[in-house]
Amino acid sequence: MIALEFKELVEVSTPKGDGYIWYMIDYGPHSDTLYTIILKENGECWQMCHKDFRIKQNTTMGICSSYQKNGFYKQPVVEGQPVNQ
């Protein structure tokens, strides 16, 4: 297991809102890496896999917004339904 606390917060978009990656846990090759994300709006902490969020646009690092296809991360979250449909 590897655990990493980010010194520089990485801004992300998630289905639950925008936030920052705070912590990462890698349990090894047989499980997904988990990221603890703190939401900006309400301070909630959520653990998500890498497929559940996208890094926000950062021109300095060459990250453009075109990868956020179909506005997936702008859709409201519906309770009781899976995030990735």
Asked if residue 2 lies in contact with residue 25, where contact means CB atoms within 8 angstroms, the answer is yes
| Contact assessment for residue 9 and residue 21, using Cβ atoms and an 8 Å cutoff | yes
pLDDT tens digit sequence for 21-55: 999 999 988 888 999 999 999 999 999 998 899 88
Nearest to 47 by CA among 65, 25, 66, 73: 25
- Model pLDDT, residue 56: 80
pTM beyond 0.75, yes or no: no
